[in-house]
Structure formats: C-alpha cells, structure tokens
Chain A
C-alpha cells in the first residue's frame, strides 16, 4: 500500500513528548489530535490510522474521541477558520448582522469553505469576550466589537 504518510516526523515527535507527564499514552489522545491538526489543518482517516500505533489505540477508539469535540476537524477546512460567536451576549448585540455580512463577502454560510480554500466559516459558542460583543476568532486572533464595516480590513490579513 502506497498511502502517503500524513503525520510528519516532527508532529510525531511532538506527540511522543506528551507522554512523560501522563500515566498512559491514551491520555495524550486529545493533545495528539490537536498536534495533528496544527500540522495538517484537519484530522483525516489516514491520520487516525497513523496515530493508532503511536497512542496504542485503534482508529475507532481515537475517532470516538475526535468526533466528540467540536474543535477537532474530521473534514478538511480552509487555510483560515473564522469562528463567529453565536452565543447569547453576541446574539443580543447582533452577531447575526456580522454573519450576514460575512456570508455576503465570502459567499458561504456557517459550515462551509470558500471555493479558493481560503476560509472556513463556523459558528462557535461563547468566546468569553461578552463585554465586547459581537466577537469572533480567526485562526488564533480575537476580534471584538465587530461591525460589518471593519470586516474587510480583518479579512484582508488572511491570505
């Protein structure tokens, strides 16, 4: 089988470094998934297969965990991920206006990826930034007090 290896040696090393503080390898499962995602953007079926022997788990066992958590992506995502908060304070403060504006600009709605693979657009529960609602995170950057007007400037930062 000539399946291409998707977990790089570097990622593998990072995963193995997790083990020393843990009583068993399986306990590193979530962090390992995060590392894979950091390197690959998402966790493919092949990644589960490769993770198996590293964590001494089967792909089924890892997938059971991966699919529980919403920040582990089991489907491909774009180069940048926009997480727009849709929880109560942002709702009160009008996140829906931001959603509509982004929808128009990117031509995609929640759960979708732009054709050019640039953005994936996702709703996210409360970002803990309620005093500056509406808020969103792009990749790891937090944006607050959003208005439709400032979106272009933000999006322009992500290629």
Chain B
C-alpha cells in the first residue's frame, strides 16, 4: 500500500498503480482518452493532466500526466488546481478543433466519452476560426462503420486492434495533424475482435454498423444483462431492444470473464432474433383457428407415452423442466451421442483431474501455454484473445526487472518487442495462434495422442526416442516445467475424447511436478456443460425407442435435428414419432415436421441460467417482452401442466431444480430474486433518459399501454425504478452522472479494471479438488479406421454456429464450404490439380471444392463443421477420396 495525497487529502492505495487509475478508483472525475484499463498508459492524449507537487511546501507544482505518474508513497497531486483545469480545458479545445461537432447526427451521441469529457473539462466556447481538416472514410466491412472526421487521435484503436488483438490489417497512417486510423485501403476488417473498436473508440469514429441499420438513440434502448449464446465461453453482454427488435450487443464488464471485450460472433451474431423466420405463434399443423395451445395441453394432459429432447442451447431451467415433464427415463440429449459424451467427459475431467480450470480472465495470468487440438480462435474466440495476453507474460518480466511499471504499456512494449513467452501448439493444421507460437506441431488424432503421451513421459523425466515427435515433446515439457504457471488448452473441437483425456493428463503431470498448472477446455455450445450436468440419455437410444414404440409423442426443444443429424436422419426419427411438439425460435427444416409449435424465446426473450466451459453458472434475462406469443421454453413447459393462474415463477423453478441437483445449490445466489427491491424499487431496464414512451404506439392507440410486469426478475421493463448503480448481478446498463458512455464502468468497479462492486457475477460450480489420482485411460471405443483419410472438423467463427450464421452481417463473412487437403496428399492420391474431390460418408458420396492447406498432415482432410453443406456429418470419420 502507498499513501498518496490528492488535493490535500491522504489516501491509502494499492501498490503498482498510476495516479489516473488511483483517482478513478477513488471515484473522482478526471478526464482521459488514451488510457484504457485493459491497455494501460501511453501518455499520448495529455487529457489526464494534473498538478504534481514535490512536497507540502511546493506551492507551484508542475503539470504531469496522471496516467504516467507512479502512485508511490508521498505522491502529491491536485485535480482542483486551476492550472490543471485550464490545461485540461485547453487540451480538449484542441481535440475539438477538427472534430465536426456533428453530435446530432452521430451514432455515438449520448453515449460518447468525448462528449462527457468535453463537458467535464468545462470547454464551452469555440475560439478556433479556421477550416477543419477532412478525411475520406473507408468501408470496413459489415460490422464497423467508419467516420474518420470525428477522430481525436487517441491511438486506442490501433493499440487494441494491433497490439492487443494481434490484427494486421488496420493501422495508423501519415503523421502530424493528418494521422489517419483505418486500413491501407477500404476493405473488411479481418480480425475476430474488430467489433471492440466500437467500444474502444472514445467517440464516433468506429460505430456498430448493425445498430446503424436499425438505429435508435442509445438512451432509448431497453436493455438487460445477458450472456452471449454463441459459444461456450459465455461472455457477459448487454442486449438492447426498441420497438420489439434487438438493436445491438455490447460487452458487459465482468472482471472474471470477458472484461471489456467480445468477439465479433458474439457482438454481431444477434440478428437471428429479428429474423422474419421467427416462430411467433402457437401453431398446430394444418389447422388455424382452433386453440392450438389447448390442444397441446390436452395432448400432454392425456399422459401419452412421451419423450423429451433437450438441447445445449437451451437453459438449465428449460432442460430441467422438460426432463421433469417427461420423466428422467424419457429425457434425451438432442445432440449426437458422441458430442454428448465429449461434453460429459470435459465436465467430469474438470472435476476429477485435480487441476484448476482458470476463468477467462485468469487465463491471462499464465506464463506458458500448450494448445492441444483446439482451434480456439474459432471455437471459443475470447480464449484466444486471453491467450494472446498470456503469451506476453514471460517477456514482460524482463521489463519489470528494469523497474518499468506494469501500467507503462508503451515502455513494456519496447522491451517486449514482438517476443512471446513459451507458447506451443499441437493441432491438426496450422491455426491463427501459431503466429504467436514458439513452436508448432501438426498431426492427425493418433499422432497428437502419441505426442501427448510423450509429453507426459517427458514431464515425468523420461527422455524418449529421438524422432520429431520426441523432440517436440521434450521441448514442450522443458518449457512448461521451466515456468511458474503452465496452462493446457484443449477442447472438443477435434471431437475426440482421447484428446481431452490427453490434455488432462498433461495438465495433471504438470501439477504433480509441482507446477501451478491450469486446464481449459472449450466445449461446443453455450450450455453444453449445463446439459451434461442435467444429464440425459443419448440420441441413439431415442432413435431406437421411437422405432420400437410407435405411439411416442416427442417434445423437441431448441434443437434443429436436421442441422445436427442430417435431414435424412431427422426425418426418419420424426416420422417414427406419433406426434411432435416443437419448442423453438426459428423456422427450420425440422420444424416443418412438427405437429405443434410452441414459439420459444431466444436469449433475448427469455430468462435462464447457462453453464460455461469453466463450469461457471451465469444468468441471462429477458430483454423485452415480445408482442406475440413467444416465451421462454421453461415457461411453455410449465404452462403445459399449470394453468395461467398457477403458472410458476422463475425463482420457483430454480428452487425445484436445486432440490433435484444439489450441485446447483449455489445458483440461488446468481441474482437477486424477483421480489428483491432496492428500497422499494426494482431495477429499470430503461434509463431515466428514455424518451418517447407515450408516443411510441400512438399510431395504434393514444392510450399508453400498461407496461408489462416482470415477475421473474428484479428488473422492470420501464424507466421507473432505482436509478443508482444497479447491483453487479443485474446491471442492465452502465451510467453514472457525467458519464454517459460505457466508460462509466469505472464507477461500478472496486478499482478500475478490477472486480465490480458487489462481486463479479456468475458462480463457479466446479472446482478442482486436490486429488490428482484417478484413471485417465480412455474407456470408450476407438473409431475404426476404414479409409486412408481421417476427416476432422474445421471450425469457423463465422458460420460454425447455427443461429449466429443466420445473422445477415455475419453471413457475409462465412467462407465457402471447401475441403482442406495438403497438395502432397492430393499428389499421393493421384488427383493433383483437381478442383474438387469426393468423399464417402455413410455410404453416400459428397463432393467439395478443394482448398489447399499444406500445414495438414498427408492423411487428414478437414471440412467445416456446422455449415449448410456439412450439417449432419459426424466427425471424425475415415474415407477414401476421389476426384470430383
């Protein structure tokens, strides 16, 4: 701790901070631009100037940039000194010289850090009387809109995009007053994290193009805390609505999970919520005017033979309710058996291997990494972003030895240059993270497993042979053993249980050798872990069941069977069912077979709990009540057995679930219950600046409708309620007096960049014990090898996820469906120069265009998982190939 004096008041502050952080953490208002809590200080903008004094006798002091002043004992500064105030006002005046003052037409308006800082520093009148410089804007692709004239040259965008996220197609150009932030020429931003520019930019240079397509002033949005449903990481988001449409997704700060950032799939993949293929009405096949819901209810009430098909994209509550409805014996997981087993394996390993699974933000603290089999950039993008930070830890130590402070980003970068710490990859083909890898290794599944065995042996001290695999294994073992905190990252991407076991084995060997090891798994979907926990029988059993028991009624919830099993398999299953009730959100090939449809809410129209890849339970809330029949799946199921009057609330369902699953005990504390109040008030989803409420529906009726009541959460759907800072577990938007932009997050944190007041939301359900015993041998059966080529899935951030792929902006980024193969494999197969090739799957020939990838082993092919042309293929499989 250090004692610092700010405006003559002494404060005790943590060591290793700069004075800007200190002031903001103490809740003071101080202007800044270039500093960012995740990217730290470079001292460019000069907006955080304060007066520093040598000691109590120094009355003059000097201007310093607070972000560059170390908060050591005795540091004495003033924010109130007039010289400092004048400087800050003058500085912002300078920043505004070329700014177009176009707030009325600017997408950022009302949520603009530049606006806030201008007001805060007291610059009101304009003295500049000369022309402003103007820039040409660029087309940066479907996600980010560019308006360069608003730029105040804080350099945050390049620092994020290039230094933090590893982007290479964006930068700063020219010099002096002409500096330009963009690309060498117009074109789509390629980095997976480009959307963060929208939040990183303190003004309206980079704005959300998807929001722009259906723009709403930001104070007019209805927002709720949500969880991204686009992969297993479960980043915390703020989802916002107006007029019944979802308008945008922002990152919701969670110091344990995603911090300030999101990936582009998460941010821009929401448009399926607004799709015109949404199922909005309860429907009964071939009839229209009967009461369809009454029919479903009657059907269920007649106690038929019934099975339920659950889903990893449905919440815990929904899966639980379905299981309750049909009975444990009759609940099946609506995913391929192999996938279900993978998720269960991951879930069990995290509990039994005895190695800690770090949170997403903790990943950044590891100092050596082995990535085994997983292309995290595409399967769990935010893990890749965290790994990019972890890779800098070891070289950073060198900077610390030179007494460079942790927050001195620019200086650290000069020392680190482009070096990375020990970072090893072993994957079927080259992945994007290879660019920061110390060494990389590619091989088929068996080769990677052999490598893993050798790594484990090498960690235990055995030398092994001396082929390439041995050498790599020895290098990896040596590097991981020579650091403090090695992390093993793997996942279900290769669809191999053995790979998961191998990764766990390596992590455990490291722990046994005395390392503070970590183990991270990426799993397929937002609630894969939740479904594994709820448990359910496997799909193959369901198939057999309906074949033998022809009078079965199936309730299929939030899973598109045609997408998961192929159209043919889905069709034959559904045709064997006597009747099918489908609870889902979007019309698709499967819903065509439904006898009854119950329109389910997406993440935006439901409340629920999901468990992410680290075993963290997280709550998401309904953002708005749709003006149709859409509701949460669990609510539908509840109503099948309860009348409207006796319908149960979310909290009741959670309690019932906890009673069945003691491991879920802790989720009671995930959020304040629906009855909780702050004083007497609930938490409004709308800011007090929300406008036009009385006019919104005036074209239909001048009588303002009664706003819907939210009986399932502590939130309300209106602007009325508690307008102080919402408790961390239910923050629908960030706002603080004078801080209208997202940077008001500072005010919600115990210390800037640290945990939220009241704790970061989310509760970890799985913690590794100390027991590192237990058998890691694979007990399942190995796939038999009936072909020369092993076909593995390749993963794609854009297109690899069913729902987000339907979002128009994202859809334009989906690559063509191609089969990857090395040119030597083509040659070996005697089909050199072929443009497309044919493979066998399940007795059928499939033809794909070829994409050459020479990083692939000679006996491996890769096909994109989850694309239209590859849906229903169960990886891995073996095949022969031929031209065509």
> Which residues of A are at the interface with B, using a C-beta cutoff of 8 A?
24, 26, 45, 48, 57-61, 63-64, 67-69
Residue interface mask B148-182, A partner, CB < 8 A = 1: 00000000000000000000111111110000100
| B560 nearest CB across to chain A (Å) | 38
> Which B171-228 residues have a C-beta within 8 angstroms of A?
171-175, 180, 183-185
- Closest 8 pairs between A and B when the two form their complex, measured CB to CB: A64-B171, A63-B184, A58-B168, A67-B173, A60-B184, A67-B174, A68-B175, A60-B169
| Chain A, residue nearest B183 (CB) | A60
A68 in complex: contacting residue of B174, B184, B417, CB < 8 Å:
B174
| Chain A, residue nearest B178 (CB) | A67
Is B418 among interface residues, defined by CB-CB distance under 8 A?
A: yes
| Chain B, residue nearest A49 (CB) | B184
- Kindly state the separation between the CA atoms of A59 and B173 in the bound complex, as whole angstroms: 12
- Kindly state the separation between the CA atoms of A24 and B418 in the bound complex, as whole angstroms: 10
B169 in complex: contacting residue of A24, A45, A58, A67, CB < 8 Å:
A58
- Kindly state the separation between the CA atoms of A120 and B365 in the bound complex, as whole angstroms: 55
Structural contact, A61 and B185, CB atoms closer than 8 A: no
New A-B contacts (14) at CB < 8 Å, excluding given A63-B171, A68-B175: A24-B417, A26-B418, A58-B169, A60-B168, A60-B171, A60-B184, A63-B173, A63-B184, A64-B171, A64-B172, A67-B173, A67-B180, A68-B173, A68-B174
Chain A contacts of B172 at CB under 8 A? 64
Chain A contacts of B174 at CB under 8 A? 67-68
List 8 interface pairs A-B (beta carbons < 8 Å), by A numbering.
A58-B169, A60-B171, A63-B171, A64-B172, A67-B174, A67-B175, A68-B173, A69-B175
Chain B contacts of A45 at CB under 8 A? 184-185
- Kindly state the separation between the CA atoms of A97 and B401 in the bound complex, as whole angstroms: 58
Chain B contacts of A60 at CB under 8 A? 168-171, 183-184
| Chain A, residue nearest B187 (CB) | A60
Chain A contacts of B417 at CB under 8 A? 24
| B434 nearest CB across to chain A (Å) | 13
Chain B contacts of A58 at CB under 8 A? 168-169
- Kindly state the separation between the CA atoms of A60 and B168 in the bound complex, as whole angstroms: 7
- Kindly state the separation between the CA atoms of A108 and B180 in the bound complex, as whole angstroms: 28
- Kindly state the separation between the CA atoms of A48 and B168 in the bound complex, as whole angstroms: 14
| Chain A, residue nearest B417 (CB) | A24
- Kindly state the separation between the CA atoms of A57 and B171 in the bound complex, as whole angstroms: 12
Chain A contacts of B175 at CB under 8 A? 67-69
Chain A contacts of B171 at CB under 8 A? 60-61, 63-64
- Kindly state the separation between the CA atoms of A39 and B702 in the bound complex, as whole angstroms: 74
Structural contact, B168 and A61, CB atoms closer than 8 A: yes
Chain A contacts of B169 at CB under 8 A? 58, 60
Residue interface mask B398-418, A partner, CB < 8 A = 1: 000000000000000000011
- Kindly state the separation between the CA atoms of A104 and B169 in the bound complex, as whole angstroms: 43
Interface residues on B, range: 10 to 19
- Kindly state the separation between the CA atoms of A69 and B176 in the bound complex, as whole angstroms: 11
- Kindly state the separation between the CA atoms of A63 and B173 in the bound complex, as whole angstroms: 7
Chain A contacts of B185 at CB under 8 A? 45
| B166 nearest CB across to chain A (Å) | 12
| A64 nearest CB across to chain B (Å) | 4
| Chain A, residue nearest B173 (CB) | A67
| B395 nearest CB across to chain A (Å) | 14
| A111 nearest CB across to chain B (Å) | 14
- Kindly state the separation between the CA atoms of A45 and B183 in the bound complex, as whole angstroms: 12
Chain B contacts of A24 at CB under 8 A? 417-418
Chain B contacts of A64 at CB under 8 A? 171-173, 184
- Kindly state the separation between the CA atoms of A67 and B173 in the bound complex, as whole angstroms: 6
- Kindly state the separation between the CA atoms of A24 and B419 in the bound complex, as whole angstroms: 11
- Kindly state the separation between the CA atoms of A57 and B435 in the bound complex, as whole angstroms: 12
Chain A contacts of B183 at CB under 8 A? 60
- Kindly state the separation between the CA atoms of A46 and B519 in the bound complex, as whole angstroms: 45
- Kindly state the separation between the CA atoms of A78 and B417 in the bound complex, as whole angstroms: 38
| B612 nearest CB across to chain A (Å) | 34
- Kindly state the separation between the CA atoms of A57 and B180 in the bound complex, as whole angstroms: 19
Most buried by A among B172, B173, B417, B418: B173
Chain A contacts of B173 at CB under 8 A? 63-64, 67-68
| B148 nearest CB across to chain A (Å) | 14
- Kindly state the separation between the CA atoms of A69 and B178 in the bound complex, as whole angstroms: 12
| B44 nearest CB across to chain A (Å) | 15
- Kindly state the separation between the CA atoms of A61 and B435 in the bound complex, as whole angstroms: 16
- Kindly state the separation between the CA atoms of A70 and B705 in the bound complex, as whole angstroms: 64
Structural contact, A48 and B418, CB atoms closer than 8 A: no
Chain B contacts of A63 at CB under 8 A? 171, 173, 184
- Kindly state the separation between the CA atoms of A57 and B184 in the bound complex, as whole angstroms: 13
| B242 nearest CB across to chain A (Å) | 36
Chain B contacts of A26 at CB under 8 A? 418
- Kindly state the separation between the CA atoms of A23 and B540 in the bound complex, as whole angstroms: 58
- Kindly state the separation between the CA atoms of A63 and B185 in the bound complex, as whole angstroms: 10
Chain B contacts of A57 at CB under 8 A? 168
- Kindly state the separation between the CA atoms of A136 and B743 in the bound complex, as whole angstroms: 52
| Chain A, residue nearest B182 (CB) | A60
| Chain B, residue nearest A66 (CB) | B173
- Kindly state the separation between the CA atoms of A58 and B167 in the bound complex, as whole angstroms: 10
- Kindly state the separation between the CA atoms of A57 and B172 in the bound complex, as whole angstroms: 15
- Kindly state the separation between the CA atoms of A57 and B169 in the bound complex, as whole angstroms: 10
| B816 nearest CB across to chain A (Å) | 18
| B526 nearest CB across to chain A (Å) | 34
| A134 nearest CB across to chain B (Å) | 24
Contacts known (A64-B171, A64-B173, A67-B173); A59 close to B418, Cβ less than 8 A:
no
- Kindly state the separation between the CA atoms of A104 and B249 in the bound complex, as whole angstroms: 60
- Kindly state the separation between the CA atoms of A38 and B169 in the bound complex, as whole angstroms: 26
| A70 nearest CB across to chain B (Å) | 8
- Kindly state the separation between the CA atoms of A132 and B180 in the bound complex, as whole angstroms: 37
- Kindly state the separation between the CA atoms of A61 and B172 in the bound complex, as whole angstroms: 9
Chain B contacts of A68 at CB under 8 A? 173-175
- Kindly state the separation between the CA atoms of A13 and B441 in the bound complex, as whole angstroms: 31
- Kindly state the separation between the CA atoms of A45 and B184 in the bound complex, as whole angstroms: 9
| B868 nearest CB across to chain A (Å) | 29
- Kindly state the separation between the CA atoms of A120 and B418 in the bound complex, as whole angstroms: 39
Chain A contacts of B418 at CB under 8 A? 24, 26
Most buried by B among A57, A58, A69: A58
| Chain A, residue nearest B162 (CB) | A61
| A124 nearest CB across to chain B (Å) | 15
Chain A contacts of B170 at CB under 8 A? 60
Chain B contacts of A61 at CB under 8 A? 168, 171
Chain B contacts of A69 at CB under 8 A? 175
| Chain A, residue nearest B418 (CB) | A24
| A49 nearest CB across to chain B (Å) | 9
| A51 nearest CB across to chain B (Å) | 12
- Kindly state the separation between the CA atoms of A61 and B175 in the bound complex, as whole angstroms: 15
- Kindly state the separation between the CA atoms of A64 and B181 in the bound complex, as whole angstroms: 9
> Which B312-348 residues have a C-beta within 8 angstroms of A?
none
- Kindly state the separation between the CA atoms of A61 and B418 in the bound complex, as whole angstroms: 14
Chain A contacts of B184 at CB under 8 A? 45, 48, 59-60, 63-64
| A87 nearest CB across to chain B (Å) | 16
Chain A contacts of B168 at CB under 8 A? 57-58, 60-61
Residue interface mask B469-513, A partner, CB < 8 A = 1: 000000000000000000000000000000000000000000000
Residue interface mask B612-651, A partner, CB < 8 A = 1: 0000000000000000000000000000000000000000
- Kindly state the separation between the CA atoms of A30 and B174 in the bound complex, as whole angstroms: 14
| Chain A, residue nearest B185 (CB) | A45
Most buried by B among A59, A60, A63, A69: A60
> Which B226-270 residues have a C-beta within 8 angstroms of A?
none
- Kindly state the separation between the CA atoms of A69 and B183 in the bound complex, as whole angstroms: 17
| Chain A, residue nearest B172 (CB) | A64
| A159 nearest CB across to chain B (Å) | 33
